[in-house]
């Protein structure tokens, strides 16, 4: 009985906070607020949620607009233990851990519990992405800036570049190319030009770059890293429109082909999925058992794809139920996620290490690892809450996250064990 009462209290307090926050917006301006804002939840270590404390948030918590100088928000990108925010005016803010300079700020700051503006970005930014320990921003004219950990060359700044870069630095070797989108994984980066060429760089291990292993005469790899962007030759002639990067694998979508083909690469993924005799796991392989693919997301060891019809398919490791198919059995081929998505199509999806989030009909659904027995937990304390359901319990099926009435979700991002969303009041 008391557990039910506690759950009800938590549920009501979560929606009440959104209601009060909305009223605060109304009182500070004229009429009903229409600005887009961010809500975050999950592990609060190192201030990665940006809510001013280091406490975990078991339900979505809105971030005060004053943190962004009252600017409306366009997107959020959750990384390992840090988070990036992009305003409608093209400015970037960061919060959380800064041990490798991933906040793009002073190297004397180990972490910050509230968003601070990333320094040195003088042009308007149109896209952001966060990896495990590194970050990037794309300018309105297609320049790529990167910062953070660079031990495996994941910043693309060359072999002589520092192992830690604290301020956004332009990837000069891409001059003359217009970068449209980029995805950051654990220790690698994948980017796409306006012409649809796919490039990758960073840690070579597990074939996550898609270039193929190049053993020397003695059987050893000639290099463990690619320090500058390199064209993925297997994808030449294909116009890539979407990319995703996970822990040990990557994926690209051919947006021109009639079937919207999905290509995936990464040795660990191919081993897990058992793609027949495809031994060359370090080269892109097409997944033929999918309808036209519109969006793709890569997690720790799982992958999700949204089709043109709004169907969600997922496969790979299913630890903690991150596939959302109602069990914890691993799937070697794409399996359609059903439940609420049979009635309304999915438009966005994001993968964390072992949890997943999707947007359908303006609502956010999450499933997978809830945070119990968290990787970094101490003395048995939970380090999670990334599903936003008020507990650290795992969910093996998509479950709706409650934000209150008249709230529409526009974008979702999963970090290692935290989640962020961009919302607006209708």
Provide the pLDDT for residue 260.
Answer: 86
Secondary structure (3-state) at 267 = helix
Task: Name the least confident of 190-194, 284-288, 343-347.
Answer: 284-288
Provide the pLDDT for residue 278.
Answer: 42
pLDDT at 385 over 50: yes
Structure tokens at 340: 């609420």
**Residue appearing with tokens 């297997």:** 234
Task: Round to whole Å and give the CA distance between 331 and 306.
Answer: 17
pLDDT at 279 over 90: no
What value does the mean pLDDT take over residues 300-306?
96
Structure tokens at 415: 């970090």
Task: Name the least confident of 6-20, 99-113, 137-151.
Answer: 6-20
- Helix, strand, coil proportions of the chain in percent (round to 5)? 15, 40, 45
Strands (E), 35-178: 37-42, 57-62, 73-78, 82-87, 92-97, 111-117, 125-130, 134-139, 144-149, 164-170
pTM of the full structure: 0.91
Provide the pLDDT for residue 23.
Answer: 56
CB-based contact 392:375 (threshold 8 Å)? no
pLDDT at 4 over 60: no
Task: Name the least confident of 19-23, 189-193, 251-255.
Answer: 19-23
The contacts of residue 77 (CB under 8 Å, 6+ apart) are 83, 84, 85, 86, 128, 129, 130, 135, 413, 420
The pLDDT-based confidence of 291 (bands split at 50, 70, 90) is confident
What value does the mean pLDDT take over residues 63-78?
92
pLDDT at 267 over 80: no
CB atoms within 10 A of CB 368: 29
Q: Which residues pair with 399 in a beta bridge?
A: 366
Cα 359 → chain centroid: 14
Provide the pLDDT for residue 405.
Answer: 83
**How high is the mean pLDDT of the chain?**
87
The answer for 327, left when phi > 0, alpha when psi is -120 to 50, beta otherwise, is beta
Sign of torsion over alpha carbons 271, 299, 306, 286: negative
The pLDDT-based confidence of 380 (bands split at 50, 70, 90) is very low
CATH number, domain 35-176: 2.130.10.30
CB-based contact 67:37 (threshold 8 Å)? no
Provide the pLDDT for residue 212.
Answer: 85
What value does the mean pLDDT take over residues 8-12?
41
Structure tokens at 296: 């793709």
The answer for 156, left when phi > 0, alpha when psi is -120 to 50, beta otherwise, is left
The answer for 373, left when phi > 0, alpha when psi is -120 to 50, beta otherwise, is left
Provide the pLDDT for residue 27.
Answer: 42
Task: Round to whole Å and give the CA distance between 369 and 356.
Answer: 8
**Residue appearing with tokens 């794309």:** 138
Extents of the domains making up the chain: 35-176
């Amino acid at each position: 009985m008391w557990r039910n009462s506690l759950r009800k209290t938590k549920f009501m307090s979560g929606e009440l906070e959104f209601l009060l926050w909305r009223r605060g917006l109304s009182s500070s301006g004229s009429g009903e607020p229409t600005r887009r804002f961010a809500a975050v939840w999950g592990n609060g270590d190192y201030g990665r949620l940006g809510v001013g404390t280091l406490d975990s948030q078991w339900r979505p918590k809105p971030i005060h607009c004053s943190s962004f100088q009252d600017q409306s928000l366009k997107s959020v990108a959750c990384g390992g233990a840090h988070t990036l925010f992009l305003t409608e005016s093209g400015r970037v803010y960061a919060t959380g851990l800064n041990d490798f300079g991933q906040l793009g700020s002073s190297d004397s700051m180990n972490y910050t519990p509230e968003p601070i503006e990333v320094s040195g970005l003088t042009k308007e930014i149109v896209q952001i992405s966060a990896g495990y320990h590194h970050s990037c921003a794309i300018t309105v004219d297609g320049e790529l800036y990167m910062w953070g950990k660079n031990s495996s060359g994941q910043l693309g700044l060359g072999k002589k570049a520092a192992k830690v870069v604290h301020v956004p630095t332009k990837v000069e070797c891409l001059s003359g190319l217009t970068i449209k989108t980029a995805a950051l994984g654990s220790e690698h980066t994948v980017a796409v030009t306006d012409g649809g060429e796919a490039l990758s760089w960073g840690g070579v291990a597990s074939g996550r770059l898609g270039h193929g292993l190049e053993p020397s005469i003695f059987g050893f790899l000639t290099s463990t890293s690619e320090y500058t962007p390199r064209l993925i030759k297997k994808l030449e002639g294909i116009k890539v429109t979407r990319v995703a990067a996970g822990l040990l694998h990557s994926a690209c979508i051919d947006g021109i082909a009639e079937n919207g083909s999905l290509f995936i690469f990464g040795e660990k993924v191919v081993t897990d999925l058992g793609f027949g005799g495809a031994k060359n796991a370090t080269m892109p392989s097409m997944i033929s058992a999918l309808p036209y693919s519109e969006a793709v997301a890569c997690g720790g060891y799982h992958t999700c794809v949204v089709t043109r019809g709004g169907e969600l398919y997922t496969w790979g490791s299913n630890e903690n139920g991150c596939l959302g198919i109602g069990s914890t059995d691993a799937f070697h081929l794409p399996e359609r996620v059903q439940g609420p998505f049979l009635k309304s199509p999915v438009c966005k999806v994001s993968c964390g290490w072992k949890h997943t989030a999707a947007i359908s009909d303006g609502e956010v659904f999450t499933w997978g690892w809830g945070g119990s027995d968290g990787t970094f937990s101490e003395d048995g304390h939970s380090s999670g809450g990334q599903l936003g359901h008020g507990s650290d319990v795992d969910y093996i099926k998509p479950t709706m996250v409650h934000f209150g009435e008249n709230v529409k979700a526009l974008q979702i991002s999963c970090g290692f064990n935290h989640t962020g969303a961009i919302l607006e009041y209708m």
